[in-house]
Amino acid sequence: MSALPASAGGLELPRHLRAAGRTLAYLGLALVHGIVYTVLIGGGLLLGALLSVVWIGLPLLTGVFALAWRLAERERRQANRQLDAHIPAVRRPRREDRLGDLRDPAFRRILALLVLKLPVTLVALVVAGAPLVLAFALLVLGLEGLGGDGELLVGPWSLGPALGLVLCLLSLPALVVSVAVLDGVGRLLRALAQRALASEVEGDGPVRELLAERLGDRSLNIAYWLPDREIFVDDRGRPVELPAAGSGRAWTAVERDGARVAAIVHDAELDATPELVHAAASAAVLALDNERLKADLRARLEELRISRRRIVEAGDDARRRIERNLHDGAQQQLVSLALDLRLLGARLRGHEAVSLVDELGEKLALALAELRELARGIHPAVLSDHGLAPAIHVLVERVPMAVECDLDLDERLAPAIEAAAYFVAAEGLTNVVRYSNAASAAVRVALRGGELEVEVADDGVGGARIDAGSGLRGLSDRVGALEGTLSVDSPLGGGTRLRASIPARPRAGGEA
């Protein structure tokens, strides 16, 4: 159990050494930059303020402001490269007032960073350099002592091999302290740069548009990571495949607190400057995490929708199989038996058993009619073989009342959609016959704007409700599984109007 922390600590040491080295390099450049900034920005501001009473002061201040924005962008790049600051690009807003930058808090922070660059760097060098100088001095003295130089004194002791060994050993913890101090100073400098230069993703628009604008890639997309399913999805919850190498597209992972949040899919040309993408992603990581949670919810809803649709389609497939089995099996056997009874009756002409055979034939015809009615209720064969319009025509012909039929449908649709529309019409007409006390009814089916609209209306007593019985409630579930809607308008004494609207898609060539 103790080996893991030791191993982890060993793996962390190179990272701390690299961070300390980058911080030291950053401080070296910062010292030179600080001197330049003090002269150009500090001196320019002071000179511009003194000359503001004459005409030259204003152009001078405007030039200093423009230079400050450029230097801020340079500072951002340096902080990203050497301090892993992940700061997005610094852009100067367009303003009509040439001195309007001074009213911008972000610009005032930039000016403070540039003007205070030199003193802050000097303080950081003193803090970070002191333990480093101490470690170097201990090592040099220790090496001299190991060389046998006994003439030098370190306090009350002469510098000999024994003391030299002790000093060399003491230089190691001093070096460790130096690395830790440099790492800490780097963190402070990174926080300072982020506070002065970083800008949050603002606005009410979607995160994708904001990142696309910030990175200059209008084709940018975001894929959100769902850890429980280990897949990427888009903002609608649909699975996404990340681009492969050589496709002209690249992707950059976005993490929050060490956990994967999303992937930014962008133009491969941006991959040449990954720090730009990382910086923009870092600024938007909280918004991306919120969008990821929304995408997760949409993915679950999409899975539920697909699951409901699969259940409906599986039920319709089972209905079709049962209807086929009844038609090709039991129904054909009964038809064959009816023919045999007729032949038997013809042979028994004049025999007293003829009346019994005729009675059996009538009972068999009744059973066959009931079986056909049952098969039609399960799933009408005419719907599968000829389509929705002929099936509704057959349905209307069987209703024992005047029914107006208006069908505006010229193409076959997906089987689940045709089945849902058929059963809406069937249930509506059944309710008309059973409960409405209507004198007439109407069925209208039309395909308009990608929506299949089904309506059954009557002039009966009204009062129907979707939640009043299992028939309409089941229809509502069936239509809802296809992303459609079912509504009933049925005022008391004002008739009933049952409407269904179902997103329609044509029947694929391979669908049966």
Determine the pLDDT at residue 500: 92
Among residues 458, 390, 379, the alpha carbon closest in space to that of 423 is found at 379
d(CA 269, CA 248): 8
Determine the pLDDT at residue 455: 93
189 in Cβ contact with 117 (< 8 Å): no
DSSP for 279-303 reads HHHHHTHHHHHHHHHHHHHHHHHHH
**438 to 57, 434, 470, 471: CA distances (angstroms):** 91, 10, 22, 19
d(CA 30, CA 53): 34
pTM metric for this prediction: 0.43
- As to burial, measured by CB atoms within 10 angstroms (0-12 exposed, 13-18 middle, 19+ buried), residue 260 is middle
403 in Cβ contact with 442 (< 8 Å): yes
Among residues 236, 289, 303, the alpha carbon closest in space to that of 258 is found at 289
**25 to 30, 125, 194, 407: CA distances (angstroms):** 8, 11, 18, 79
378 in Cβ contact with 434 (< 8 Å): no
pLDDT, tens only, 92-139: 777 666 666 777 788 888 888 888 989 998 998 888 888 887 777 777
CA angle centred on 428, ends 425 and 433, rounded to 5° = 120
Residue 174: both structure tokens together: 């001093």
- Which residues does residue 252 pair with via DSSP β-bridges, in sequence order? 264
Phi-psi region of 483 (alpha: psi -120 to 50; beta: other; left: phi over 0): left
Letter string b/e over residues 388-421, b meaning 16 or more CB atoms within 10 A of that residue's CB: bbebbeebbeebeeebebebebeebbbbbbbbbb
Dihedrals phi, psi of 220, to nearest 5 degrees: -60, 140
Determine the pLDDT at residue 295: 72
Domain with CATH 3.30.565.10 in the chain: 383-503
85 in Cβ contact with 194 (< 8 Å): yes
**180 to 78, 86, 238: CA distances (angstroms):** 21, 22, 46
465 in Cβ contact with 486 (< 8 Å): no
Determine the pLDDT at residue 438: 87
DSSP element (H, E) containing 161: helix 161-197
Determine the pLDDT at residue 202: 45
Letter string b/e over residues 437-449, b meaning 16 or more CB atoms within 10 A of that residue's CB: ebeebbbbbebee
Among residues 256, 280, 270, the alpha carbon closest in space to that of 201 is found at 280
Question: How do the pLDDT tens digits run along the chain, 512 residues long?
Answer: 333 333 334 445 677 778 888 888 888 898 999 899 889 888 888 888 888 777 787 888 888 888 888 888 888 888 877 887 767 667 677 766 666 677 778 888 888 888 898 999 899 888 888 888 777 777 777 777 676 655 665 655 666 677 667 767 877 877 888 888 888 888 898 888 888 886 644 444 466 766 666 666 667 788 888 887 788 887 777 888 888 877 778 888 877 777 777 888 877 766 545 566 666 666 566 666 667 777 777 777 777 776 666 666 666 666 666 666 666 666 677 777 777 777 777 777 767 677 777 777 777 777 766 666 666 556 677 777 788 888 888 888 888 888 899 988 888 888 888 888 888 888 888 888 888 888 889 999 998 888 899 999 999 898 888 876 667 887 887 888 888 888 999 898 888 999 999 888 766 554 54
Among residues 486, 367, 366, the alpha carbon closest in space to that of 420 is found at 486
Determine the pLDDT at residue 204: 41
Letter string b/e over residues 170-195, b meaning 16 or more CB atoms within 10 A of that residue's CB: bbeebbeebbebbbebbeebbebbbe
**358 to 328, 339, 341, 353: CA distances (angstroms):** 25, 12, 8, 9
222 in Cβ contact with 291 (< 8 Å): yes
Determine the pLDDT at residue 163: 66
Q: Where are the alpha helices (DSSP H) in 102-153?
A: 105-115, 117-146
Determine the pLDDT at residue 327: 60
Determine the pLDDT at residue 55: 74
- Which residues does residue 477 pair with via DSSP β-bridges, in sequence order? none
Helix %, strand %, coil % for the chain, to 5?
65, 15, 25
d(CA 394, CA 429): 12
Determine the pLDDT at residue 229: 76
Determine the pLDDT at residue 183: 83
Q: Domain 383-503, CATH 3.40.50.720 — does that match?
A: no
